[in-house]
Structure 1
């Protein structure tokens, strides 16, 4: 078997350990320390995050999608394939090197999706875009860190705590959906979603499509399609 070769490293704001881009033949992987965060051969669950969420937007005109975490582009590509030509997809990526890798050594993995006119790529914390306005998004898809139990950056916890859930609800349109990817189950986070006013479905897609480890995708929406909450975003 071919050995892994380290291609590059990139600092993560607010974190001591850098991300490492590794390659083995045609396979790429991104590690945080000794933990593999993503692999170019195993993106089935990240694709499912987008497909399942976009199914709930079927028939919506000019949907506005926010994706938190660029990764290797699996969620972005699946969203673009599921949405019509009038969609707007904003992607927030905090780590500059992840963006550079997407345009460099991982360009073959991304397959030109960053050049799609529907896409706006932001080098920013997704939390800032979530707070851009009440009802600003029809879908918020979070694939940040390793899910609610973060590995790389403590500040990511604010996306998943009680205030983070409230901010997401405030930022979604009445028929909007919050999709969250996680490396494993988290009953406390699911309960926070439910206690925060969401109706929640939990799906466990495999990382390799029909094979591979099972990950978790939560799909959360308002139970009664209530009006968008007014006022400013809760909690800063």
Structure 2
């Protein structure tokens, strides 16, 4: 009986333009799986909170900075940002309609409902790389939590986001002195080099301790003033 009770239960499964996305419940946790790759669950949220806080802490004290979040996920980053009155407008880019639906009227709404009702919040349903290449908007901070890291992407097309050209696009939508924060499941010295080659300064990595294995990290970089 224990094995049956602990088996994951699929709540929704959809085929989108970038492959299959699945929302499932495993015990008390909700999990998002993309193309068979585990992305995230509702177990903690510490990494997502640190991602947002690290970006804010790296800014130069400007008032009401505007935030762009790459990836809605389970909603921890958005919820944490919206809970902080220091942030101004908050835009979340999410390319999977299924994920948006799970937050609007699905099982993940309990995490994000207050944030989505916040007048500062806007959801842009598009690919992040398309957004940074096409938008006329600029932001003070950009938090990326789309893949498991620069070297562990969900789809092959995401590789371009972490290339020099993709990061240059990220820099383009940042205001002078703006901060790029990138979550990763493992440290990547090579990615730090790519950030510098893309023109970012003050590149550094903050570790997030985990129970077992190598720490998660947040890569931080600043667009020159």
* Same-fold status (TM-score > 0.5): yes
Q: Is this contact kept in 2: 1:5–1:22, CA < 8 A? A: yes
Q: Which residue of 2 aligns with 1:10?
A: 14
Q: Which residues in structure 2 correspond to 1:49-198 (within 5 Å)?
A: 49-57=51-59, 59-84=61-86, 87-103=88-104, 104-131=106-133, 132-133=135-136, 136-198=138-200
Q: 2:204 aligns with which of 195, 198, 201?
A: 201
**Which residue is equivalent to 1:31?**
33
Contact kept in structure 1, 2:153 and 2:159, CA below 8 Å? no
Contact 2:103/2:113 (CA < 8 Å) preserved in 1?
A: no
| Higher RCO structure, 1 or 2 (CA under 8 Å, sep 6+) | 1
Ranges in structure 2 where 5+ consecutive residues have no aligned partner: none
Q: Separation in 1 of the partners of 2:212 and 2:98? A: 27
CA distance in 2, matches of 1:36, 1:42: 15
Q: Any idea what the Cα deviations from partners look like across 1:45-90, whole Å, max 9, x if unmatched?
A: 11110011112336322321111100011111222233426x0000
Task: Tell me, yes or no, if the aligned pair for 1:11 and 1:95 is still in contact at 8 Å.
Answer: no
Shift of 1:176: 0.4
Q: Which residue of 2 aligns with 1:221?
A: 222
Q: Structure 1: which 5+ residue stretches go unaligned? A: 227-236
SS of alignment partner, residue 31 of structure 2 = strand
Q: Are the aligned partners of 2:103 and 2:112 in contact in 1 as well (CA < 8 Å)?
A: yes
Aligned residues: 217
- After superposition, the C-alpha distances for 1:130-169 in whole angstroms (9 at most, x for unaligned) are 23237x1111111112221244222211211010111122
Q: Which residue of 2 aligns with 1:231?
A: none
Q: Once the 2 structures are TM-superposed, how far is the Cα of residue 184 of structure 1 from its aligned partner? A: 1.4
**Contact 2:83 / 2:115 at 8 angstroms: preserved in 1?**
no
Q: 1:108-150, CA deviations, whole angstroms, 9 ceiling, x for partnerless residues? A: 232521111110011111123323237x111111111222124
Tell me the secondary structure at the aligned position of residue 82 of structure 1. Answer: coil
Cα pair distance change 1:58/1:174, threshold 3 Å: closer
TM score, norm. by length of structure 1: 0.84
RMSD: 2.0
Distance 1:12 1:54 in 2: 33
